[in-house]
Every structure is written in structure tokens, then in C-alpha cells.
Amino acid sequence: DARDHGQSISLKAQPGKTSFYPGRESETLGYNGSYLGPTLRVHRGDDVEVAVSNTLGEDTTVHWHGLLIPGELDGGPHQTIANGATWRPVLPIRQPAATLWYHSHAHGRTAEQVYAGLAGLMIVTDDEEKALGLPSEYGIDDIPLVLQDRQFEEGILAIPQGMMTMMHGRQGDTLVVNGTVNPFARVPRRRVRLRLLNGANARFFNLSFSDGRAFHWVASEGGLLESPVELRSLHLAPGERAEILVDFSDGRPATLETGQNASTAMMRMMSRTAGAEKEAVVRFAPQGAEASPVQIPDQLSSHAHLEASQAIRRRHFEMTMDMRQMMSGRSGSFGINGRSFDRGRIDQRIGLGDVEIWEVSSAMMVHPFHIHGVHFTVLSRNGSLPDVRDRGLRDTIVVQEPVELLVKFTQPAETLPFMYHCHILEHEDNGMMGQFSVS
């Protein structure tokens, strides 16, 4: 789907049937279709009128993950769209070009609704990015890749349940990319942009190419990096996005692969001893005449730099799990600072325009931490300078070691709060989430 959605968008959340395998129909959910939703392309400066209607037969919400808009437009757990209703926000697009996404955020139902298919990409474009001449022919040399894992039983989508699912998040043994099992992409023999979204509920990807080729990482969640970073592997936690440029001008096919999941210390140990087994994510077949790859500009963007000294407050967040509650199968076993999500409680009150340092740590597992309504930078990881992969403007960041985030709150959230939470959706649904007002 490569339409330019411009000034008005209509999305219909609906049930459908999807054949992931020939002749095997699964019950799924989608926007305007049976699984996932259209890629929405919007331009900086636009005011986009959206109509989201719901025919799911249950409540839903649509959250614009990464969009910098006021709290009452954000589509979080308070903005319920009842079955049969339509929600009509007008979204002011005022941020630089970036790869964002949208998904259900219906509290307690987020994980299952997203797993069933309620997610899609949103691409923000702007003139500065266009002027760089990066590959931008959608579906040709600018390719969106929504990475997910799903469980199938005899070719039919299964929804894993139970305590291990709650603890590790819903995971599957099959990779599904843009809703397709065993995907294959024809690409031109030149440099190609891949827009990667980890749209899995709980799976962590560690991506590389089968032939070990290098690629350039050019954008994080908040948009273009200041300069390209040459890499041979890239980690992507649930909710994270990255744009990379890959040179296919040599015409040789290559497979984008991922290492095994590594979300817990135990699983990391096991995968180390199990060796470097890889799974295929997408197979690329370059075709056509060779074109000499365009140069990648040395400078991609320049961010107004915030300094840590501008921060007026420090807050601490620890993503916590209560094993005893979990064993007894009760909900509310996940929390932040030991408190489980309560939609009637505002956990933090923040001044509009304030700069703060958020120290975030994890107990027991690796959790990806996401904050609504902001883009932040990473000041430190484990008490030292951040990793290369911590660069750029972020809205989701992997927290294994404690991190310090420098956050500026530019969007008001007075009538409805913003969320911060673990982006393992089962953890979020089970209470690893808090809310904040900005005024």
C-alpha cells in the first residue's frame, strides 16, 4: 500500500481472515484489511484529519507511537473507541521525518489485539529529508519491514496463553514480515532503504546479513541521525524502529537474518551455549541493471542539542516483577517502582517545557522502556557513556543496565495523561506502565 495519505485518513479496525499459509485461514484483526494496516504517509506541517472506526465487537484505541502531539490526541488507554463508534482526532504533524507506527493501546487487551494484527506504519516526511536524496520510492527502494513473530498450529495462527506467556511475553516460532511468512523481496541493484519496525509483542531481534555485509544506520525512532553509522549488526527491541541503507549494487542475493531471542539472562546464557543459530527474516534478490550507489551524505541532520545541565529534576523508574504474585496467577504482578498501573492515578506531574533526567532500570529481565509524547537522548548506560546503538532521538530504549535519559517535555497532557511503559505488551497489559501529566 503506497498511497500518500496527506490530509485525511480513515482507518477501520475490523476482524478478518488471513491465509498465512495457503488454504489455512486464521482469524485476525486489521485496519482497512484483514491483518496490519496501511502505511500512513504524512508530511511535516500537515494537520491530518483522521477517522478511526471500530467494528471489532470490543473496545479498542489507536495510539500514534512516536508522534509528538498533545495528550488528548495520543490514543492511549483513556481514549476508548467503543464498538460501532468513530474517533476523529486532527493530528498536527510538526516533527522531522521519521518512521513511526500506530497500534492498539486498549488496556488489558493491547497484547492480544496487536498480536492479532492491529498495527501499522506511519511515515513522516519533510523537505530537509527529501533534499538529502536518500532512497524514497516506496516499496521499490524504500521498503517498510514490520518484523513480528507468531505461533502457528497446523498453519493457523495460535494465541499462546499461560504463565510463561505472561512472563516472557507472547512469542512464536515463526517470523512474519509485513504479514507474510517466508518473505522474499526483489530490490533494484542500488542502495536501498529499509525501514525496520520491531512490531513483535516481546521478541528481540539481532539483525545482520547472511554474507556479513555492512550497512549504514541512518535513522532512529525520532528520525535521521546526525551522521550515518556503519554497522554489521543491529539490535531492535519491541517498539523500536531503525532505518538502514543497504547496498545491493553487486547484484548478489542476501538474507537479512536474526539471532536467537535474548530477553532474559537465562535465555542469553542458553543462546550463547547453543551457538550462533540464525533465522531468516527476509531474502533479498537484487535485479535489473547495476546503478552506482548514491553517496550517503556525511551529515544527515542537526539536532538542537540539549545539555544535561538544563535538567531541573531527576526521576527514578525501576521496572519490577513480583514473582510471588505471578506464580499465583494474579494480575498486577508487573509494575514500575513496585506499583502496578492504575488508570485513576497520575504517577508523575511534569511542567510543560521542562527538561528532566529519567533514570530507568530493570529487575530480572531486559525491558524496552517507552515514553509517550517525547523524544529523548541517552546520557549514560551502566554509569558510562552510551553505546553506539543508543545514538539519536529515541522514544523506546532497551534497558538491561540502568540508563539515564535526557527528556524534554514539549507536548501538553492536561486533560488526558501520557504513558510510560515496558513495550513487551504482556508486561504493559499486566501493569508495567505509569502515567504522567504535562502542564
Q: Does 109 bind Cu ion (CB under 5 A)?
A: no
Residues in region 89-108 near ligand C2O by CB under 6 A: 103, 105
Partner that binds at residue 216, options Cu ion, ligand C2O, none, CB closer than 5 to 8 Å by kind: none
Strand order in the sheet with 348-350: 348-350, 433-438, 413-422, 367-371, 396-399
Question: What separation in angstroms does the CA of 302 have from each of 136, 296, 309, 322?
Answer: 20, 16, 20, 43
| Contact with ligand C2O (CB under 6 A) among 187, 202, 419, 438 | 419
Q: Does 146 bind ligand C2O (CB under 6 A)?
A: no
Kindly tell me the burial class for residue 402, based on how many C-beta atoms sit within 10 Å of its own C-beta (0-12, 13-18, 19 or more).
middle
Q: Does 43 bind Cu ion (CB under 5 A)?
A: no
Residues in region 379-398 near Cu ion by CB under 5 A: none
Window 46-75: contact mask with ligand C2O (x via CB under 6 A) = -----------------x-x----------
Q: How far is the CB of 381 from ligand C2O (least distance, A)?
A: 22
Burial 408-434 (b: 16+ CB within 10 A, else e): bbbbbbeebbbbbbbbbbbbbbbbbbb
Residues in region 216-275 near ligand C2O by CB under 6 A: 239
| Gap between the Cα atoms of 30 and 102, Å rounded | 12
Which three-class secondary structure string do you get for 76-115? CCCCCECCCCEECCEEECCCCCEEEEEECCCCCCHHHHHH
| Gap between the Cα atoms of 210 and 280, Å rounded | 9
Q: Per CB under 6 A, which region of 87-95, 333-341, 406-414, 417-425 contacts ligand C2O? A: 417-425
Partner that binds at residue 421, options Cu ion, ligand C2O, none, CB closer than 5 to 8 Å by kind: ligand C2O
Q: How far is the CB of 66 from ligand C2O (least distance, A)?
A: 8
Assess contact for 60 and 104: CB atoms under 8 A. Answer: yes
Q: Which is nearer to ligand C2O, 147 or 254 (CB)?
A: 147
| Contact with ligand C2O (CB under 6 A) among 372, 389, 394, 427 | 372
Q: How far is the CB of 128 from ligand C2O (least distance, A)?
A: 26
| Gap between the Cα atoms of 315 and 372, Å rounded | 16
Q: How far is the CB of 65 from Cu ion (least distance, A)?
A: 4
Q: Does 109 bind ligand C2O (CB under 6 A)?
A: no
348: number of Cβ within 10 Å:
17
Q: Does 370 bind ligand C2O (CB under 6 A)?
A: yes
Window 65-94: contact mask with Cu ion (x via CB under 5 A) = x-----------------------------
Q: Per CB under 6 A, which region of 52-60, 84-92, 322-330, 416-424 contacts ligand C2O? A: 416-424
Q: How crowded is the C-beta side of 405, counted as CA atoms within 13 Å?
A: 28
Q: Which is nearer to ligand C2O, 62 or 311 (CB)?
A: 62
- The closest alpha carbon to 395, from 409, 382, 384, 385, belongs to 409
Q: Which is nearer to ligand C2O, 372 or 375 (CB)?
A: 372
Residue numbers at the binding site for ligand C2O (CB under 6 A): 63, 65, 103, 105, 239, 370, 372, 419, 421, 423
Residue numbers at the binding site for Cu ion (CB under 5 A): 65, 367, 372, 422, 424, 427
